[in-house]
């Protein structure tokens, strides 16, 4: 059932090159997160999402300090080693200082075009719209210049339906995981999610549909160990989920920026692009990187724990993500005040020895069982 997705994540370059040739579209690397893929597709590009990788860092350390997050360092490593040769241009968002500065490094070091969707830090929808007006114009103009293809209302509508469909199917997968813990192994689940970063939406959606149909024929083993909800920016490294499967831990939900926070987004409103992008960036799931005082993370996370039936929350901290680190202490306190057990693991994406993380996860489960 999961083999096509495993094939993709173990052959990322091959997958992208194949689909680039099939589609005849330029590959645009999306530097996470929340850049609407719909805009790139409507402009004739092939978006692939770069959320970091597990390459040993050799060259990027010359430009980024060791205390920058391993997402940024590992993505830069890709370009510096020439592995991302098929990527014609990069689309950034202004999620954090690291990403904003990473774009400047790309502009100085490489000749590939870069775009930035700058996310406003303002209090009201009106102020966000006002700020985003020129940003959206700049981004769409930039994309059209890169691809030499004009974005049309019909193209936007089709792109919106395509990516909206993918996220709806992913939400269905999340629902199945919540309702039948253990039916989908943790490693398989996140492999399915990760394959979506690289496959064209039109190829990924039918694979998801087949998977959802196949899953209906299976029943879940009885859950023996605690159910966890994971929260963090990125769900990598994938290898850890094999250990979670060995430990028989059931992840029933997550609050990852490249997981639920993205999957939860509805269709981008193509008829009102400015309003659509504003809604897309700020709704529905709150994020440590997106300032929105009307969307409180504490209440949101508490509701999510209750709705998922999780026994505890494991915060998944990729070193050294500042926005995530700033939010975590008060989120943990809020949950603890509501008698919800929490713990956290911190790791680098290039981690090779998982023993310490495995011990920590097992210890947290034992506390929950006790």
Please pick, from the candidates 84, 99, 205, 305, the single residue that binds ligand SF4 as defined by CB under 6 A: 99
- CB closer to ligand SF4 out of 92 and 364: 92
- The CB-of-256 to ligand SF4 minimum distance in angstroms stands at 11
Told to check if 313 binds ligand SF4 by CB under 6 A, we report no
Told to check if 96 binds ligand SF4 by CB under 6 A, we report yes
247 three-class SS: coil
- CB closer to ligand SF4 out of 76 and 159: 76
Q: Specify the DSSP element, H or E, that contains 214.
A: helix 201-215
Told to check if 285 binds ligand SF4 by CB under 6 A, we report no
- CB closer to ligand SF4 out of 311 and 324: 324
Strand partners, 40: none
**Rounded CA separation 255/246 (Å):** 22
**Residues within window 222-281 making contact with ligand SF4, judged by CB under 6 A:** 233
Question: Omega of the bond prior to 320 within 30 degrees of 0, cis?
Answer: yes
- CB closer to ligand SF4 out of 255 and 267: 255
Please pick, from the candidates 27, 252, 321, 349, the single residue that binds ligand SF4 as defined by CB under 6 A: 321
Nearest one of 362, 347, 78, 81 to 239, comparing CA atoms: 347
- The CB-of-320 to ligand SF4 minimum distance in angstroms stands at 7
**Rounded CA separation 205/199 (Å):** 9
The region of 11-19, 95-103, 183-191, 268-276 touching ligand SF4 under the rule CB under 6 A is: 95-103
Cβ neighbourhood burial of 306 (10 Å; 0-12, 13-18, 19+): exposed
**Rounded CA separation 344/317 (Å):** 7
Q: What is the DSSP letter of 61?
A: G
- The CB-of-30 to ligand SF4 minimum distance in angstroms stands at 12
- The CB-of-118 to ligand SF4 minimum distance in angstroms stands at 14
Told to check if 71 binds ligand SF4 by CB under 6 A, we report yes
Please pick, from the candidates 195, 285, 290, 318, the single residue that binds ligand SF4 as defined by CB under 6 A: 318
Told to check if 95 binds ligand SF4 by CB under 6 A, we report yes
Nearest one of 118, 115, 119 to 107, comparing CA atoms: 115
Question: Omega of the bond prior to 33 within 30 degrees of 0, cis?
Answer: yes
Told to check if 322 binds ligand SF4 by CB under 6 A, we report yes
- CB closer to ligand SF4 out of 37 and 96: 96
**Rounded CA separation 139/154 (Å):** 18
**In which residue are the tokens 């995981």 written?**
177
Residues that bind ligand SF4 (rule: CB under 6 A) add up to a total of: 14
Q: What is the CA radius of gyration of the chain?
A: 20
- CB closer to ligand SF4 out of 69 and 169: 69
- CB closer to ligand SF4 out of 8 and 96: 96
Phi-psi region of 353 (alpha: psi -120 to 50; beta: other; left: phi over 0): beta
Positions in the binding site for ligand SF4 (CB under 6 A): 69, 71-72, 95-96, 98-99, 233, 289, 318, 321-324
């Amino acid at each position: 059932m999961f083999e096509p997705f495993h094939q993709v994540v173990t052959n990322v370059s091959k997958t992208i090159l194949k689909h680039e040739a099939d589609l005849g579209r330029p590959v645009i690397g999306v530097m996470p997160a929340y850049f609407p893929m719909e805009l790139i597709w409507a402009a004739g590009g092939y978006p692939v999402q770069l959320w970091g990788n597990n390459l040993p860092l050799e060259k990027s350390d010359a430009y980024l300090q060791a205390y920058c997050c391993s997402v940024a360092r590992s993505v830069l490593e890709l370009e510096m080693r020439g592995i991302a040769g098929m990527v014609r241009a990069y689309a950034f968002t202004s999620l954090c200082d690291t990403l904003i500065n990473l774009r400047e490094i790309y502009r100085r070091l490489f000749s590939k075009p870069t775009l930035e969707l700058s996310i406003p830090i303002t209090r009201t929808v009106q102020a966000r719209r006002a700020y985003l007006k020129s940003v959206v114009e700049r981004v769409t103009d930039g994309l059209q210049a890169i691809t030499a293809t004009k974005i049309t209302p019909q193209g936007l509508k089709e792109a919106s339906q395509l990516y909206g469909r993918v996220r709806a199917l992913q939400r269905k997968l999340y629902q199945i995981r919540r309702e039948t813990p253990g039916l989908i192994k943790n490693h398989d689940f996140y492999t399915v999610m990760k394959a979506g970063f690289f496959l064209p939406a039109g190829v990924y959606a039918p694979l998801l549909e087949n998977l959802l149909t196949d899953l209906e024929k299976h029943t879940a083993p009885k859950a023996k160990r605690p159910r966890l909800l994971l929260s963090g920016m990125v769900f990598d490294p994938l290898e850890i989920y094999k250990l979670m499967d060995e430990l028989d831990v059931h992840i029933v939900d997550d609050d990852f920026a490249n997981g639920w926070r993205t999957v939860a987004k509805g269709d981008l409103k193509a008829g009102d692009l400015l309003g659509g992008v504003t809604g897309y960036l700020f709704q529905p799931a709150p994020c440590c990187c997106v300032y929105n005082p009307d969307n409180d993370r504490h209440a949101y996370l508490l509701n999510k724990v209750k709705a998922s039936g999780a026994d505890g929350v494991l915060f998944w901290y990729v070193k050294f993500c500042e926005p995530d680190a700033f939010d975590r202490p008060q989120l943990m306190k809020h949950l603890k005040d509501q008698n919800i057990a929490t713990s956290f693991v911190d790791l680098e994406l290039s981690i090779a020895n998982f023993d310490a993380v495995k011990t920590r996860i097992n210890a947290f489960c034992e506390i929950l069982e006790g």
